[in-house]
Structure 1
């Protein structure tokens, strides 16, 4: 599909991206590097500032046909890298330890391929999406008026997955990755002198009860759901003061959007009931909302056939993954497929400080996407 000099060029590009990661919504320089890479590839159209820092490249076929979008992510993570590699991150406490640099290299390789092999019919759209890690990027792209210009009939994406054999394709029809949301529960009591706690109303006991009750909440829901308390804070470090406020933060997950919303509703009812019991005020706010990723049967079949044609090792996933990916929002707007690409049985896990994307996967990822495109556009 691509010759060795091209693969080497993509590998070097990946390492450059790895050295200069940027956080969600701040990927200005990363976008510039991508645009510079594509400047010699002559796409038929370039869209910049898509959903913030995002950008898309369009390759137009001669005949009418479907529009197919291939998506990757621009952003890095607020994690200090701990690696002994020559292309170590140069940005303090920021790194590409999720592999988005590798995903960008794959889609850039796809651009190289389409530069020399224009689709026969329809359009190919290569989307470099911002802010995947916070769950805000897909929504920003879809809401951007410029997205109407490239509204796809199909959308495909991949994610490297440590813990599975190198180059293995992990694929599943229907639910593939969970919906999730970050929930903060604010409890409001009344401060007093710590010598006279009875004069105030500390939320300490209510906070403790809320933590225990939240993680037991899924027991009352028939379908898979999960609550993980990730942080709690009571008052401030002031030994002369009885606390008057508390915050409990938790991540709520489910395999369907509807189940996640039911879980949120139950959590609010539970927290309100406990707050009322202790005469406390309560309020809620939410961050990092991810829709469930749902693989369309037609898109799934196209992806499966591509893996078979390439003689790749295929694993049919039985249960959805518990992690979330904001590609799921595209599932509500078009026919989507998100599949996994094994990055090694013993490879460090995603978001670990010593993770580095395996460059061997670039050729495999480009091959999968190109084979999918052949089915829809040749």
Structure 2
């Protein structure tokens, strides 16, 4: 079964929704206009229940099938990124410095398209819970929605999500059983020394030199403290210090990210960072504080639900357009919290050539919206047959 005809017929309408959302991006949990737009569309569709204000601006909407049965959850993220848009599109962001550079406008659109179709047809025995989530990019809105009880409150038995993938063939699905995306941690290191004149460094305790030493030591964790075949990424992404060429500053700041799959590897990294900081402080005569934040867990697909989702994707896109043994990657996703709470699957949907995710030139490919919406709809109809 290819793209559902009724959903294909919604293409222009879905494009209009997506471009409206693209023009009005919002950050984190503050997706007020986005949530209002979603709620307005859902009321037009005639869904049975709309529950708002979950995780501040999140929404769960329910559609009942023709007969009783379990509940399937479908999730879309709604938030944007703090990036100045450079697409030149006529529907470019009207909120300067904020843009949908990850395609969440498209994800929301795909779930809205599925919602309209499912509310019209109701060809399933059970119930679908449409989960519109804020703060995927920063804040863990998925985890907050789980903490606020959506899985139990709405009796969700299984849950699914899609993410667009620029650079992959348009309309192809990619997934894998087990871990598909990494756990993510963030570290902040604050160094306090003694500032002074650049010509008299012996009178100071230089935080710049200490920062360089700490960064170099951190890099040895990957190369010397863990087994090479265990996936691990440690990236220092920010170093801030100094104000002039002849002033030794008083402070320095280091920031970065850690990506892992194995909790034991994650624990080792955290332990080694504490040890490095504790040793470097007296070595350079400075004070060093480490704040190590454990963020999203690894995104782990349920094997049975992943096989099911891949079969549904084959119905929609054709067997030749589905890869069900895709290599796991080091990116992170807060859909992981939902998969920790209920079995389900996370899939990528190829978007064709174009700028990559989190880039100022990124623009979601509207041609894949009917494909994603059809996948969501068929997941429900196949999991909950009449």
TM (norm. structure 2) is: 0.91
User: 1:221 aligns to what SS in structure 2?
Assistant: coil
What is the CA deviation profile of residues 263-282 of structure 1, one whole-angstrom value per residue up to 9, with x for unaligned ones?
22222222222223223322
Match of 1:268 in 2: 274
Q: SS in structure 2 opposite 1:285?
A: strand
Distance 1:287 1:82 in 2: 32
Q: Quick one: structure 1 residues 301 and 272, their matched pair in 2 at CA, closer, same or farther if it must change by over 3 Å?
A: same
For the residue of structure 1 that corresponds to 2:146, the secondary structure is helix
* Residue 93 of structure 2 is aligned to residue 85 of structure 1: no
Structure 2 CA distance for partners of 1:311 and 1:81, relative to 1, 3 Å? closer
CA contact (8 A) 1:293 1:331 kept: yes
CA contact (8 A) 1:225 1:263 kept: no
Q: In structure 2, what is the equivalent of residue 289 of structure 1?
A: 295
Match of 2:114 among 110, 120, 125: 110
Q: Distance in 2 between matches of 1:322 and 1:353?
A: 21
Q: 1:269 to 1:63 in 2, by over 3 A?
A: farther
Secondary structure of 2:10's partner? helix
1:30-71 superposed Cα distances (whole Å, 9 cap, x missing partner): 110111111112222111011111111011235443221111
Q: Identify which of 316, 322, 341 aligns with 2:324.
A: 316
- The answer for the alignment partner of 2:98 in structure 1 is 94
Report if aligned partners of 1:178, 1:256 keep a CA contact under 8 Å in 2: no
**1:6 is the counterpart of 2:10:** yes
SS in 1 for 2:18: helix
Distance (Å, rounded) in 2 between the aligned partners of 1:38 and 1:241? 59
> Aligned equivalents of 1:244 and 1:3: distance in 2?
60
Equivalent residue number for residue 138 of structure 1: 142
SS for the counterpart of 1:67 is: strand
- Structure 1 residue 198: deviation in Å? 2.9
2:252 matched to which residue of 1?
246
1:367 deviates by: 1.3
Q: Are the counterparts in 2 of residues 229 and 249 from structure 1 also a CA contact under 8 Å?
A: yes
Equivalences for residues 5-44 of structure 1 within 5 A: 5-44=9-48
Tell me the CA shift for residue 142 of structure 1: 1.3
Distance 1:266 1:155 in 2: 36
122-131 vs 148-157, greater mean Cα deviation: 148-157
Contact kept, 8 Å, 2:307 with 2:324, in 1: the verdict is no
Q: Deviations over 1:171-210 (max 9, x none)?
A: 1111101111221111222334555533332222221111
Query: Aligned match of 1:302 in 288, 303, 308?
Result: 308
SS in 1 for 2:69: strand
Which residue of structure 2 aligns with residue 221 of structure 1?
226
SS at match of 1:355: coil
Between stretches 209-218 and 158-167, larger displacement belongs to: 209-218
Give per-residue Cα distances to partners, 1:285-338, cap 9 Å, x unaligned. 256822211010121011011022224301234421121111112221111211
Ranges in structure 2 where 5+ consecutive residues have no aligned partner: none
Q: Hey, what does 1:121 align to over in structure 2?
A: 125
TM-score between the two structures when normalised by the length of structure 1: 0.93
Cα distance per residue 1:315-364 (max 9 Å; x no partner): 234421121111112221111211000011x2211112111111111111
Q: Are the equivalent residues in 2 in contact too, given 1:134–1:288 (CA < 8 A)?
A: no
RMSD over aligned Cα atoms: 2.0
Residues 1:269 and 1:67: Cα distance change in structure 2 (over 3 Å): farther
CA contact (8 A) 2:175 2:326 kept: no
Gaps of 5+ in 1: none
Report if aligned partners of 2:141, 2:334 keep a CA contact under 8 Å in 1: yes
